[in-house]
Structure 1
Amino acid sequence: MQNGPVPTTLTLLSELGKLAPGSKVRFLGCVTNYSTKTATLTLEHNHPPGNLLQAQVDVTLLVTTMKSNDTQIGEWVNVMGYLTSRKEKQTPNRPTLEVGVQAIVLWSSGSFNLQAYEESLDKHTP
């Protein structure tokens, strides 16, 4: 029996597809799209190279507290939330895997060393 909140798994975006829906995760991703209609951020991180996973992050719970730069294309953001779904999507150029995430916290990564981040998580990935 657990007496506190569910622990968060720090992971690379590319590993989200290996986790079960309902898992609480924290990951970093680059904004490639934002839909104001659905309050959904599309995040990607091409690591390892050739990664075809996209995170579809529902930010409905956060829209009143988010900063405008958090939704700009090319912005790197940290997300903490729960995995909600997983689906394969066939596009003309390439197949992709989309993982749905309900965000409970989102913040800009600010200035950081992407290579060091990737190396540090690669060491912890089996």
Structure 2
Amino acid sequence: MTGAELAKRFGEFSKQSENFPFLEAGADPSAVLYGLDECFVDIHAKTVTLPDHGTVPVPTLDRVEGAEWFATITYPGKGTAFAIGLGDPYTPGKANPLPTKNGVIAAVPYRVIHATNQSTNRSQRRSIMSALMGMVKRR
């Protein structure tokens, strides 16, 4: 999947979901999704080149046949993991490495995050996130 395809799938997913657990800050893990066109994985060097982060070593990196997307999963207080995904990232299941909260996938595509950052200033982003988090807490 490309970054654009992940962003489209996220739009479909977010319309179906009544709750946005990935917007809540706290101790729960969350993920950022990357399309195959948005990062470069070097299996031999065990590195990943991510937009805005550069080349990052991933010592546990192994080849996965048919990779469709990549993700960084942040575990607050513990660190970040890199995942290689197969299939639809917004379909929970044993093969899906993405974190969930209340049965909902807690992941946002990099392209969506980047577009939001480009089109709004810091104050606007804080206001948007605050309003969205308020909606989540009221439910």
Is TM-score (shorter-chain normalized) higher than 0.5? no
**Higher percent of residues as strand:** 1
**Higher percent of residues as helix:** 2
- Choose between structure 1 and 2 for higher RCO, CA contacts under 8 A separated by at least 6 residues: 2
TM normalised by structure 2 equals 0.30
Which has the greater radius of gyration?
2
